[in-house]
Amino acid sequence: MPYQKTSFYKKSPIRSFRDLEIYQKTFSASVEVMKKIIPKMQGRELPLRDQIIDCSLLIPNLIAEAYSRRFDNKEASYKLMEESMVKCNNMVVYLEQARDIFDEDVSKVVVEELTKEYMRTRTKMLNLVKAWKRFEEKDKKEN
């Protein structure tokens, strides 16, 4: 029987927030922002620079906290995930502003890749929250 390619792939089990793809992606994006965007803005004391730093570093923390809280306070967990989605949107705006303000210094390619990654990750966050809610409803029905 010939091998058939399928779109299904087995995901590894999630044992901690560090196993979440959304955590890994936002963590990597924050490192890339700190290495490739922020140095290009050095010597310029602008609120935008500080907002980019704060926002990019906060998103992975919000995801970690949301994952932890989903076991004891589901509503707080959903609220944290919603806040992290808002922060992803903020990062897109901040990165595009940085690209246009510092057009000679900040790489347009890097900004484009980062904005796409934040938007993809935001969608995955929304899907994860929906999945958590489905499991919560399933648990309520079974009990």
Residue 53 domain-assigned (yes or no): yes
- Give the range of the structural domain holding residue 63, as residue numbers without chain letter: 17-142
Residue 6 domain-assigned (yes or no): no
Residue 77 domain-assigned (yes or no): yes
Rounded to a whole number of angstroms, the CA Rg of the chain reads 18
pLDDT digits (tens, 9 = 90+) for 28-43: 999 999 999 999 887 7
Residue 34 domain-assigned (yes or no): yes
pLDDT at res. 139: 67
pLDDT at res. 54: 97
Within its chain, how far is the Cα of 61 from the centroid?
Answer: 10
Residue 2 domain-assigned (yes or no): no
pLDDT at res. 30: 97
Predicted TM-score (pTM) of this structure: 0.84
pLDDT at res. 102: 87
pLDDT digits (tens, 9 = 90+) for 67-102: 999 888 989 999 999 999 999 999 999 999 999 988
**DSSP alpha helix (H) spans, 1-143:** 21-32, 47-69, 74-101, 108-142
Using CA atoms, how far apart are residues 129 and 131, in angstroms rounded to an integer? Answer: 5
Residue 8 domain-assigned (yes or no): no
- The CATH number assigned to the domain holding 26 equals 1.20.1440.60
**Number of domains forming the structure of the chain:** 1
